[in-house]
């Protein structure tokens, strides 16, 4: 019997405040569950704006403890209510003054499975992330969820193939890449890099981008176009809209992973002893 998972992605516009942003995601999650979704990922820093367009310490107040803060506990209740696995990207405060760009993974019964902290932190106009986040220090965990083995890579991470391979080596079947990416410099890479990770590592990818302009913060124009792709690098259905908020639901045939890997034996044929220079500073 085929192993089919229905996945959901949400590319959302900013509402103007945290509470209404959370409520929006809760409502979309309930809609997704009613349509049969079993796993859902929100966008990078889902509960607020992408505040990294500016450098202002006022945004530190959005950070909270993971998993002990109120938002994650609220998301645990949502996962239990909907019966979905949830990937929840948000601003984490580890201890006072120590912050990370993090995604929590919550199982379908509401249990907290763990978190991934964004590894690669950019510092360029419109993306002043080093002002807000330390580089992640948890490695590349793969979470054994109710629907399969799940990994997370966050936004700028996608430009680095090393972590994508680490997730594959650790057994990931689907990797979610929540993002906040604007038109311009990297837009032409959006449909190339993530599909390349899927091909090279033989897993599904679900990649999410917020959408619209958050005018109170800056000119970044987030272009949506969220999608799922197969281990062959093929889009599953249509790519999300480039201008509008959208809930994306797709059926993923997980048996395709074995089918693809039995043809393209990248894990068998890799030569790690030849790559030692990659990890030199």
What pLDDT was estimated at residue 274?
A: 97
Least Cα distance to 93 among 83, 101, 84 occurs for: 101
The model's pLDDT over 141-171, given as tens digits with 9 standing for 90+, comes to 999 999 999 999 999 999 999 999 999 999 9
Mean pLDDT of the chain: 98
The model's pLDDT over 196-209, given as tens digits with 9 standing for 90+, comes to 999 999 999 999 99
**Contact in structure between 99 and 112 (CB atoms under 8 Å):** no
What pLDDT was estimated at residue 109?
A: 99
What pLDDT was estimated at residue 2?
A: 82
Catalytic residues: 44, 118, 155
233: tokens are 């690098």
Average pLDDT over residues 87-114: 99
**Contact in structure between 88 and 141 (CB atoms under 8 Å):** no
Strand partners, 9: 41, 248
- Report the domain count for the chain: 1
Average pLDDT over residues 32-43: 99
Domain range for residue 113?
A: 4-279
Kindly report the pTM of this predicted structure.
Answer: 0.97
pLDDT at 232 over 80: yes
Find the CATH number of the domain harbouring 270: 3.60.110.10
Least Cα distance to 209 among 155, 278, 254, 158 occurs for: 155
What pLDDT was estimated at residue 261?
A: 98
- In the chain, which residue ranges form alpha helices assigned H by DSSP? 18-34, 70-82, 161-169, 190-201, 255-263, 266-269
pLDDT at 244 over 80: yes
Q: Scanning the structure block, which residue is given the tokens 């089918």?
A: 259
Instruction: Work out the pLDDT band at 25, boundaries 50, 70, 90.
Output: very high
pLDDT at 1 over 80: no
The model's pLDDT over 164-199, given as tens digits with 9 standing for 90+, comes to 999 999 999 999 999 999 998 789 999 999 999 999
What pLDDT was estimated at residue 221?
A: 97
């Amino acid at each position: 019997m085929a192993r089919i998972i229905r996945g959901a992605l949400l590319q959302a516009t900013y509402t103007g405040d945290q509470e209404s942003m959370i409520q929006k995601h809760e409502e979309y999650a309930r809609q997704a569950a009613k349509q049969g979704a079993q796993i859902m990922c929100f966008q990078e820093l889902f509960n607020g704006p992408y505040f990294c367009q500016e450098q202002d310490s006022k945004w530190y107040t959005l950070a909270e403890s993971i998993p002990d803060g109120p938002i994650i506990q609220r998301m645990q209740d949502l996962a239990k209510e909907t019966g979905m696995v949830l990937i929840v990207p948000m601003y984490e405060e580890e201890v006072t003054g120590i912050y990370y760009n993090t995604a929590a993974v919550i199982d379908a019964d509401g249990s907290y499975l763990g978190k991934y902290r964004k590894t690669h932190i950019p510092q360029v106009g419109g993306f002043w992330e080093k002002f807000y986040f330390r580089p992640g220090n948890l490695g590349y965990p793969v979470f054994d969820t109710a629907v399969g083995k799940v990994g997370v890579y966050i936004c700028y991470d996608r430009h680095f193939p090393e972590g994508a391979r680490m997730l594959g080596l650790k057994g990931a079947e689907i990797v979610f890449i929540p993002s906040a990416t604007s038109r311009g410099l990297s837009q032409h890479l959006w449909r190339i890099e993530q599909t390349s990770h899927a091909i090279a590592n033989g897993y599904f990818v679900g990649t999410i981008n917020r959408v619209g302009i958050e005018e109170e913060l800056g000119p970044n124009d987030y272009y949506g176009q969220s999608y799922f792709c197969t281990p062959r690098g093929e889009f599953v259905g249509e790519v999300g809209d480039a201008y509008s908020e959208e809930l994306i639901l797709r059926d993923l045939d997980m048996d395709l992973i074995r089918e693809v890997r039995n043809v393209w034996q990248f894990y068998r044929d890799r030569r790690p002893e030849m790559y030692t220079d990659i990890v030199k500073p």
